[in-house]
Structure 1
C-alpha cells in the first residue's frame, strides 16, 4: 500500500495486470500527481520484469522467470520474475509497515489520490489497452472500455470511501443486559490488515482495480 502524507514522503501508487507488470506508476508529492520515471527505471532486466517490493524493483533471488504468452498466437510476450517464499514474506512485511502509515493519511487526501489515479488511467488508456490486448487476446475496443470502466470504479471508490468512513453507527447502551442509557456507543469500520488478492485473467485491469481502490 502507499504510505506517507502530502507534506511528508512521496506517495507512490501502482496499477497493473495480473502478470504483475505495472502499467500506470504515479508519484504524489505535495498533492501533485505525476507519472514517475523513478518507478519504471528498473522495471525489467534482460527481458524479465522484476518484482516490486518495499518501494523498489528487484530481481528475484530464484533467478527463475515465468513466460507470459499471448493466448491467440501462443507467442511469448515477456517474462516475469518467479518469487521465492522469502520474497513473498518480505512483500507482506513491507505492506504491513506501510499500511500503518497509510491509515493515518487524511480521508480527503486518500480520495484526492484515487481521483488522480483515475485520471492517469484515462490518460494512458491506449497504452494500457494495448498491453491488455497482447496479454489476454482481448479486442482493442473492449480493452479500452475495460480501462475506462476501471477509472470510473476508482473515482466511485474515492467518493464511497468518504461517505462510508465518514459515518459511524450509534448503539443504544441499554440494548445490552445490565446497562443503562447513560453512555454513548459508536462503531466504525477499520481494515483487517494486509490481505492477498489474486484477480482472474479475464478482466485483469478491472479486477485488479476492484481490489486496490476500495482497500485504499
Structure 2
C-alpha cells in the first residue's frame, strides 16, 4: 500500500483543490455559514485524517433553503427552455475544463483512484449535456375529442421545488443526474449531498453559478445528520418532489415522510446484482465484464455484481482467472495513476465487508484470493474472490459494497434464474451467453430494471436507469429522466 499522509502533510496540489472548493451553504444564490457557524470534518478515507471542515446545516437552514427554492420557482418555470439548456451546456463545458482538479477532489474525499474519478467526472458532465438537449424537447399533445365536440390539450409543466438527496459513492454524477433534469424541466431544488462527500457537490454548485444559474434555483445544504435536516423540509408543504439515491431502508422512511404532503417520489435504492455466466459464454469477455461489474468504484456501487453464478463446467477456470486479475490489482491511496483500488468509504463500511466475508467463510465458502482487511491507516480491504459460496451466506442477500466476488456454481438454467430472482432487490442483472435465444429468454425472466447482456456496465446518461421491487421507483437518465420533474395537465377545450 502507498504511504499515507495527514491533513497537514498534503501535497500542495491536494491542498489547493480542497481549499478551492466552497465550504458553506448555498442558499438563495449566496454562500453563508450554517446557523451558529456549526461545522463538521470531511475525512480522507485513505488516511482516516480530516481534509477540511464544512458547514453543518440545521433544520432552520434547510427550511431557509427550501424557502429560497420556493421563491424562485415561479420565475424559473417561466424561464425559456433554450436558456435553461444553455446554462446546462455551459455547466458541462466548465466541468470538462476543470476535469483534473474535480477528479483529484473526488479522490481525496471519496477514496476512488484517479482513473475512476476521471471516469465519473466525464459521466457526470454528460448528464448536463444530455439534459441541456432535452430542455427544448418537452412536448405535449393536441387531439380532437372522440365525439368531435371538443379538443384535448395536454401540456407538461414543472412539478415544482424538488428535494434531492445524493449518496457518497458517486458524489458528482448522482448530483448531475438529478440537477440536470430538474433545471431542464424548470424546477428549483435543494440538494443534500452525503456527509462523507460534500466537496464535489459544493464545487459543482459553484460551477453552475458561473454558468449563469439564477439565484435560488439550486440550493445546497450540507449536514452530518441527513434525517434531522431533511424531514422538516419533506413535511413542510412547499416542496413537491423528492428524489433520493441510497439504501432501501432509508428509502422506505422517506416514502413514509413524503406521504403527508403526497410528494412525487423517485428512489434509486439498493441492489443485489446477479452475474450469470453460462457454459457457452465467451469466458474472456465474461472475465472483462466481471472485473468491470465488480470492481467499478471499488465495488461500492448499487450496480456492482454481488452474486456470481457460474456454470459448473467453467466455474473452476472462471474462479482461478478472476482471482489472478483481482490479485494483480494495485491497492493504495488513489492520488497517483498507478493505483487501481482505493479504500472503502469509512470504518463502518470496512467493518461490514469484513463481517460478510467472515460469515461466508463460516458457512463453507473458500478463499481463492484476498479475504481480509489491510493493516495500516485508511479503510482498505483486499480484492477478494470466494468460491462455492452457499445460499445461506449473508452476502447472497445483502449488498457487499466492497471488492469481494462471491462465486456459486450452477447447472440448470431455470434454477439459476430462480436463484437470481430470489431477492427483495431488482436493480440490475448481468448475463453472459452466446446463445441468442437463451439471451432473450433469460433477459426477459430476470426480475430487474436493467440487464447487462454480455457487458459489465449498464450506466449511460442516454438510457433509463432504475430498478423494480425494493430497488426503487421511477427512472433517471434517458428520455424518461425529465418526466420525474414534470406534471401532466389536461385542458378540455369546448365550444368548437
Scaled by the length of structure 2, the TM-score of the pair is 0.32
Partner in structure 2 of residue 132 of structure 1: 106
- Where does the alignment leave 5 or more consecutive residues of structure 1 unmatched? 1-22, 24-39, 175-179
SS at match of 1:213: helix
Question: 113, 121, 132: which one pairs with 2:95?
Answer: 121
Which residue number corresponds to residue 14 of structure 1? none
Q: Is 1:65 aligned with 2:65?
A: no
Are the equivalent residues in 2 in contact too, given 1:199–1:207 (CA < 8 A)? yes
Structure 1 position 173 matched with structure 2 position 145: yes
Corresponding residue of 1:100: 74
Q: Check conservation: 2:103, 2:118, Cα contact below 8 A.
A: yes
Give the deviation of 1:69 after TM superposition. Answer: 0.5
Question: 2:55 corresponds to which residue?
Answer: 81
For the 8 Å contact 2:81–2:136, the answer to whether it is kept is yes
* Residue matched to 2:179: 212
Whose Rg is larger? Answer: 2
1 CA distance for matches of 2:143 and 2:46? 57
Contact 2:44/2:109 (8 A) holds in 1: yes
Q: 2:84 aligns with which of 96, 110, 113?
A: 110
Partner of 1:17: none
1:28 equivalent in structure 2: none
Distance across 1 between alignment mates of 2:27 and 2:104: 26
Match of residue 200, structure 1, among 161, 167, 178: 167
The SS at the match of 2:36 is: coil
| Gap runs ≥5 in structure 2 | 1-16, 184-496
Do 1:62 and 1:83's aligned partners in 2 also have CA atoms closer than 8 Å?
A: no
TM-align CA RMSD: 1.8
Moved over 6 A (4+): none
Compute the displacement of 1:172 (Å): 4.5
Partners of 2:149 and 2:96 in 1: how far apart? 52
Do 1:107 and 1:162's aligned partners in 2 also have CA atoms closer than 8 Å? yes
Please name the residue that 2:204 is paired with.
none
Q: How many residues align?
A: 165
| Distance in 1, Cα, partners of 2:105 & 2:54 | 14
- Alpha-carbon shift at residue 112 of structure 1 (Å): 1.3
- The within-5 A match list for 1:40-55 is 49-55=23-29
